[in-house]
Amino acid sequence: MRAESDGATPGNAKVLGIDPGLDCTGYAVVGAEDARLYDAGVIRSTTKAALATRLCEIEGGVEDVLSEHAVELLVVEDLFAHYKHPRTAILMGHARGVILLAAARRGIDVLNVSATRIKKALTGNGHASKRQVQAAIMSTFGLSVAPEPADVADAMAGAFYGVSTRAVGAKSERG
């Protein structure tokens, strides 16, 4: 879903939304001032590779995005654990770790937000389905087709949350 490269030019601040996952990490770059979608896609890791290799692949993909865009804020989903699937939270935690490391190396502010909070801000319903999030993203960004996979829509929602709540430069929500 690449719109265009903007380079890392001052005054052209971007918000990077990331939906972390070990297999598929969704990302989206949105303009902080114009709420325009500049870039969106997924970073995939090699499923059968060792965990350390997969984390390197994710970190490398995030570094590529950060190198291409003047990102001032990274919005990433908070960790959550479902009692039936605790392993999912642990694996997501590994992916979040390398994502946060990449941001810290570049001095990029990070906003940790729950998926429920992002969904509520975007759709009015904190428990919106993947389809509802995709539909809201289509409407928000004027897209003719839903972003696929859903991880991309979730990342777009996170980036839009960062822009719409004017979180760029606001230290109060960081954590």
Query: Looking at the annotation, which residues are catalytic?
Result: 19, 77, 151
Whether 111 and 173 have beta carbons less than 8 Å apart is answered as yes
Q: How far is CA 31 from the centre of its chain?
A: 13
Q: Which of 148, 142, 131 is nearest to 41 (CA)?
A: 148
76 DSSP β-pair partners: 18, 112
SS3 label, residue 29: strand
